[in-house]
Amino acid sequence: MSMTPSDRTRPSNAAQKASPAYRIPALDKDFLLGDSQRGLRFQIEYEKAEEALRAWKVNSTIVCFGSARMREDGPPHQAAWYAQAREFGRIVSQEGGALVAGTDGGCENVIATGGGPGLMEAANRGANDAGAPTIGFNITLPQEQEPNPWTTPDLTFRFHYFAMRKMHLAMRANALVAFPGGFGTLDELFEVMTLRQTRKGRDIPIILFDERYWRDVINFDRLLREGVIGADDMRVFAFADSARDAWDRIAVSVCGTLHDQGGLKREG
C-alpha cells in the first residue's frame, strides 16, 4: 500500500504502543503486582487452588504440620519422628477415605501439608505410599522452598501470602496433627488453636505428636496457672506418641459416616 504525503508527515505512534497504559490489564505484570491490586492477588491465590481441589473432588483433609529440618537419616529421635509422620500419612490415606470415593464421588481426609521437606515430606510420602492423592500448600520464601517429590503434581500449590495459604490449610481440615517443629509449626498450630478457642473455626481434633517434646516446648501448666488460658482451653488439643494412636484419636470423631461408605477400614 503506497504512502500518501499525509502518511509521510504523520508522527509515529511507537511511544503510545510502548506505554504501560496501553497494555491489556490482565497481561500487565507491573499493574497486577502493584499495591492497588493486592486484593485481586488474594482472590486469585484463593481461586486457583480452590478450582484444582474441586476438580479432584477433595472434600476434606487431615493437615500435618512439622519441621522442614528433620531428615529421614537424621539423629535417631528425628528419624523416628520422620518414620512416624510417614506411617501416619499412610494409615490415614488407607483408612480415612482418600482412596474410596464417597457418595458424592469425592475423597475424604486427604493428607495436606505445607509441601516442603522434613516432616511435611514424610506425611506426603506416606500418603503416596498408599497410592492416595496428597496436597502440598507451598509458600514462596526468601530462600526458595522446593516442593517435595511426593505431593500429587496437580495438587502442589505455591502461595505468596501466608494468610491465604493458612486459609486453604484450615478450610477443609477435619483434623490437625502437629509433629515437632519450630517457629512455622508453632505459628500454624496456635492459629488453629485460637480459631477453636474463639469458636471462629470448626471443632476439629488437634493432636500434638510426641507429648514430651510439646510439654518441653510449651509450658501449658504455667499458662493455666497464670490464668491466660482456661481449663476448657486445655481440652482443645490432645497428645499422641504413635501414628496409630494419632489416627485412632481422630477417626472416632471424623470418620463415622465413612463406615457405611467403605472408607474406614482399620488394618489387621
| CATH code of the domain containing 63 | 3.40.50.450
Question: Has residue 213 got a pLDDT over 70?
Answer: yes
List all residues 6 or more positions away from 267 whose beta carbon is below 8 Å from its beta carbon: 91, 94, 95
Contact 109, 61 (CB under 8 A): yes
Q: How confident is the model at residue 39 (pLDDT cuts 50, 70, 90)?
A: very high
* pLDDT tens-digit readout, 49-104: 999 999 999 999 999 999 999 999 999 999 999 999 999 999 999 999 999 766 67
**Whether residue 116 sits in one domain with residue 43:** no
**Whether residue 186 sits in one domain with residue 131:** yes
**Whether residue 100 sits in one domain with residue 46:** no
Q: How confident is the model at residue 259 (pLDDT cuts 50, 70, 90)?
A: very low
What backbone torsions phi and psi does residue 209 show, to the nearest 5 degrees?
-90, 125
Q: Is residue 11 part of a domain?
A: no
Contact 118, 71 (CB under 8 A): yes
Q: How many distinct structural domains can be found in the chain? A: 2
Q: How many CB atoms lie within 10 A of CB 89?
A: 32
* pLDDT tens-digit readout, 124-148: 999 999 999 999 999 988 766 789 9
Per DSSP, helices labelled H in the chain are 5-9, 14-18, 29-32, 38-55, 76-95, 118-129, 162-171, 183-197, 211-217, 220-225, 243-254, 258-261
List all residues 6 or more positions away from 90 whose beta carbon is below 8 Å from its beta carbon: 126, 127, 129, 130
**Whether residue 215 sits in one domain with residue 192:** yes
Least confident of 95-99, 101-105, 163-167, 212-216: 101-105
* Residues 261, 157: Cα–Cα separation, whole Å: 29
Q: What range defines the domain where residue 21 resides?
A: 16-55
* pLDDT tens-digit readout, 222-247: 999 999 999 999 999 999 999 999 99
Task: Please state the pTM of the whole predicted model.
Answer: 0.88
pLDDT at 253: 82
Contact 88, 126 (CB under 8 A): yes
Cell (9 digits) for 257: 459416616
Q: Is residue 153 part of a domain?
A: yes
**CA-to-CA separations, 61 to 51, 75, 168, in angstroms, rounded:** 16, 30, 10
Mean pLDDT of the chain: 91
**Whether residue 107 sits in one domain with residue 49:** no
Question: Has residue 184 got a pLDDT over 80?
Answer: yes
**Whether residue 168 sits in one domain with residue 84:** yes
Stretch 199-222: mean pLDDT, rounded? 95
Cell (9 digits) for 73: 537419616
pLDDT at 268: 44
Question: Has residue 256 got a pLDDT over 90?
Answer: no
Percent of the chain residues topping a pLDDT of 90:
81
